[in-house]
Amino acid sequence: MAAVLHMYLTSAGYTDVIVESAGVGDYAKTGGKPAPFGVAAAKFLGLHIGGHTRRHVETLKLDDYDLFVCAADDVARELLKFCGDRSRMFNANVANPFPVQFQQDYEPCMIAILGGMYRVVARYFPPQSFEM
């Protein structure tokens, strides 16, 4: 999601916005690399996330962030326990393809991520210029 959001923000002219990724579950605490099928799905879009390392929101100073983009309701509920501020949260409504990790699960997930991140940019980042 972070790579897609960054791609959209850059396309909209927001090159100075910092986009970071962190998880709320115990899985995020283990570090490690993204799932291979997730890397493949991102590569299909021309995005390279293989160098990404998982991290947990507990490792971040959450007051430093203006917006939290949550994948789904369960993530938003967990994040609320850490940040306590629903007003800075946006739910992208992207179903998690885990634990199955088959490519057919990533295809609808990828479509949902594209739509969800587009909605983030449309809502919070108006276009900086229009080309005619």
Tokens of 8: 């959209």
Both tokens of residue 14? 């927001």
What is the pLDDT, as a whole number, of residue 132?
Answer: 47
pTM, two decimals, is: 0.86
64 in a structural domain: yes
Nearest C-alpha neighbor of 68 from the set 6, 120, 11: 120
- The answer to whether the CB of 11 falls within 8 A of the CB of 45 is no
Is residue 132 included in any domain, yes or no?
Answer: no
Per-residue confidence (pLDDT) for residue 8, from 0 to 100: 95
Cα 18–30–101 angle (5° rounding)? Answer: 85
Number of domains in the chain: 1
Residue 11 placed within a domain: yes
41 domain residue, yes or no: yes
CATH code for position 87: 3.40.50.2300
Question: Which pLDDT tens digits describe the chain residue by residue (132 residues)?
Answer: 999 999 999 999 999 999 999 999 888 898 889 878 788 888 888 999 989 999 999 999 999 999 999 999 999 999 999 988 899 999 999 876 665 555 566 777 888 899 999 999 999 998 765 554
* d(C-alpha 63, C-alpha 72), whole Å: 21
Q: What domain range is 69 assigned to?
A: 2-124
